[in-house]
């Protein structure tokens, strides 16, 4: 294998990294191929969602702790952390490796929610989520190494170790996909949108006024949606009728009990305070105008 070539800080728009691979392959739960394309062409969008930022920051803070756990439990020596390497064949492919052992293995550090624990198989195997496997195989491809060790902390106290061996067939497929994708980037040829978020990010919130003729599968989807909406409307009427019957029976009572004495339902008074926008606008039109905000959205209506 070629010896890895360590490099300094890289401009993420100018290369494909391990965090891009799963999305390019269409197996990422977080990003799509078009997301990666736009990141490279327009620059990556800043993450503003507080919940996402919290998860990312927690993962960053936990990484040294998980790495220490791995070193202690496996008895391995850590010789490097956070090194970046260029692919020996293509200068637009690179990998940042979380850490490396003294015997030349890559280390991947992950923290996971307990709700995701079923995605991880038996310890000391390669039964890991496919999107992480793709990232690790990309790292092995770039560095030329034979194995990646995963140190994984699920929740706060479930620490696990996994191992992924180099697979040349998988690496060849990943390299081919990445080269094809980068050619698209260079030619400014975006992949097809695969989610609504893709469409909105690529085209923006406005429509262009054009009309398209629906192919058979889209016409069928419209018909199915129309029928589902009709079914929901019928159900809503049925729900209202049943609620009415229960409320009439309760009268002034607050709680409905079953035969076993346990509550089946409640109909209790509650107070909520809301801003009366119309009254504010009538009394203080200038003040109300200062706090008005226009937003643009696209609404799907079935005809």
b/e string for 171-207 if b means 16 or more Cβ within 10 A?
eeebbebbeebbebbeeeeebebeeeebeebeeeeee
Report residue 33's pLDDT band, with 50, 70 and 90 as the boundaries.
Answer: very high
Over the stretch 168-204, which tens digit does the pLDDT of each residue have? Answer: 999 999 999 999 999 999 999 999 999 999 999 999 8
Over the stretch 62-86, which tens digit does the pLDDT of each residue have? Answer: 899 999 999 999 999 999 999 999 9
> Which residue intervals of the chain are DSSP H helices?
18-24, 33-42, 50-74, 130-143, 168-187, 196-203, 216-250, 277-283, 285-290
C-beta of residue 86 within 8 angstroms of C-beta of residue 97:
no
Percent of the chain with pLDDT over 90: 73
Q: CA 132, 61, 142, 77: dihedral to nearest 10 degrees?
A: -110
| Centroid of chain to Cα 212 | 30
Whole-number pLDDT of residue 285: 82
How many CB atoms are closer than 10 A to CB 105? Answer: 18
Domains of the chain by residue range: 5-203, 214-257+276-303
Whole-number pLDDT of residue 272: 80
**pLDDT of 8 higher than 80:** no
Higher pLDDT, 194 or 286: 194
Whole-number pLDDT of residue 60: 84
Average pLDDT value over all residues in the chain:
91
**pLDDT of 205 higher than 80:** yes
Report residue 6's pLDDT band, with 50, 70 and 90 as the boundaries.
Answer: low
* CA–CA distance, 55 with 32 (Å, rounded to integer): 20
Whole-number pLDDT of residue 51: 78
In CATH, 5-203 is 1.20.1250.10: no
Higher pLDDT, 125 or 49: 125
Whole-number pLDDT of residue 58: 80
Q: Which pTM value belongs to this model?
A: 0.80
Whole-number pLDDT of residue 126: 96
């Amino acid at each position: 294998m070629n010896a890895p070539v360590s490099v300094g800080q890289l401009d993420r728009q100018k290369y494909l990294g391990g965090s891009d691979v799963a999305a390019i392959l269409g197996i990422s739960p977080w990003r799509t191929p078009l997301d990666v394309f736009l990141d490279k062409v327009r620059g990556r969008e800043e993450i503003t969602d507080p919940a996402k930022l919290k998860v990312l920051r927690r993962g960053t803070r936990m990484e040294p702790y998980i790495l220490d756990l791995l070193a202690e439990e496996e008895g391995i020596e850590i010789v490097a952390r956070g090194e970046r390497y260029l692919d020996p064949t293509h200068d637009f492919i690179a990998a940042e490796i979380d850490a490396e052992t003294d015997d030349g293995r890559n280390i991947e550090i992950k923290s996971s929610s307990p709700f995701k624990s079923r995605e991880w198989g038996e310890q000391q195997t390669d039964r890991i989520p496919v999107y992480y496997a793709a990232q690790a195989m990309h790292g092995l491809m770039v560095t030329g190494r034979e194995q990646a060790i995963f140190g994984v902390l699920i929740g706060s106290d479930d620490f696990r170790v996994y191992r992924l061996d180099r697979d040349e067939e998988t690496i060849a497929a990943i390299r081919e996909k990445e080269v094809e994708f980068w050619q698209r980037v260079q030619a400014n040829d975006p992949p097809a949108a695969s989610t609504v978020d893709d469409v909105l990010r690529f085209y923006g919130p406005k429509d262009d006024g054009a009309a398209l003729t629906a192919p058979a599968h889209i016409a069928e989807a419209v018909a199915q949606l129309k029928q589902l909406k009709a079914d929901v409307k019928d159900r809503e009427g049925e729900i209202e009728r049943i609620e009415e019957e229960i409320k009439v029976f309760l009268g002034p009572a607050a709680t409905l009990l079953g035969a076993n004495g346990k509550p089946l339902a409640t109909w209790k008074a509650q107070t909520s305070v809301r801003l009366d926008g119309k009254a504010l606008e009538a009394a203080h039109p200038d003040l109300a105008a200062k706090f008005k905000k226009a937003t643009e959205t696209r609404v799907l209506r079935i005809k």
